[in-house]
């Protein structure tokens, strides 16, 4: 299943072109912009035969209100997030123990974009979010993810707790992250079939989500700050998993 998404900002548009130029439908650019970066972008779009519409900046503002589009908006034929029924087939097709990232009601699109970028870099096999009360694949997510929003399989599920039960039934070990976790991050065994479960901004893991985790991990903190931003914490945990799993190869 696919959906058309508007992506704004020079960096995000360039990332989309690098990832798969065949998915670019059309582009609108600020007719007044003739700087080096815009000229380079126009040449790239000309090479792939993409329709380019020069227009007034207010038209770009109308397409992406309250967004720093930097004078360019791209229409992208992207994939829609996958659903509950797709997850089992996706995991069945893997030839290695999965590394999964679960985001429990992360609502800030900047955080979702950053988490997807870290997930892509860490080789995460699936990112799972609840369908409700969570950020979707918005232009901000695409901009921050810098291409990872298309590269990482994203699953939106109707009932996160039920999904966690299904993962556990498949032999996936569920590690939640919490300030009061009873196991240090470096003491958790992240080498097998693992799901890293991260909580929402500010509130952390919901009670039912926490209760369905097999263990709660805590990141050792040496300074005065009590916790990290969810996207930063996600990167820390994922790359500890990468370190441990790399020792097996």
The annotation places the binding site for S-adenosyl-L-methionine at: 199, 219, 228
Q: What would you measure as the largest C-alpha separation in the chain, in angstroms?
A: 58
Q: Could you tell me if 38 and 115 are in contact, meaning their C-beta atoms sit under 8 angstroms apart?
A: no
For residue 21, count other CB atoms closer than 10 A to its CB: 14
Cβ atoms of 219 and 183 within 8 Å: the answer is no
In the chain, what is the straight-line distance between the N-terminal and C-terminal CA atoms, in Å? Answer: 35
Binding site: which residues?
Answer: 199, 219, 228
Tokens of 191: 């080498």
* Burial state string for 62-87 with b = 16 or more CB within 10 A and e = fewer than 16: ebbeebebbbbbbbbebbebbebebb
Of the candidates 249, 239, 17, the one whose C-alpha atom is nearest the C-alpha of residue 115 is 239
């Amino acid at each position: 299943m696919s959906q058309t998404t508007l992506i704004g900002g020079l960096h995000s548009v360039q990332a989309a072109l690098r990832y798969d130029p065949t998915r670019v439908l059309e582009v609108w650019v600020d007719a007044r912009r003739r700087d080096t970066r815009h000229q380079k972008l126009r040449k790239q779009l000309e090479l792939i035969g993409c329709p380019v519409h020069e227009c007034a900046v207010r038209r770009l503002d109308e397409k992406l209100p309250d967004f720093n589009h930097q004078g360019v908006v791209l229409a992208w034929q992207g994939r829609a997030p996958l659903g509950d029924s797709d997850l089992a087939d996706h995991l069945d097709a893997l030839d290695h123990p999965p590394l999964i990232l679960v985001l429990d009601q992360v609502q800030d699109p900047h955080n979702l974009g950053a988490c997807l970028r870290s997930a892509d870099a860490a080789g995460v096999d699936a990112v799972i979010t609840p369908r409700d009360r969570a950020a979707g694949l918005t232009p901000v997510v695409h901009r921050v993810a810098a291409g990872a929003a298309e590269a990482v399989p994203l699953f939106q599920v109707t009932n996160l707790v039920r999904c966690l039960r299904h993962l556990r039934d498949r032999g996936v070990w569920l590690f939640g992250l919490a300030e009061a976790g009873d196991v240090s991050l470096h003491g958790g065994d992240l080498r097998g079939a693992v799901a890293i479960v991260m909580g929402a901004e500010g509130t952390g893991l919901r009670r039912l989500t926490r209760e369905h985790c097999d263990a709660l991990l805590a990141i050792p903190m040496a300074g005065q700050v009590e916790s990290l931003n969810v996207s930063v914490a996600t990167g820390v945990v994922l790359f500890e998993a990468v370190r441990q799993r790399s020792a097996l190869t």
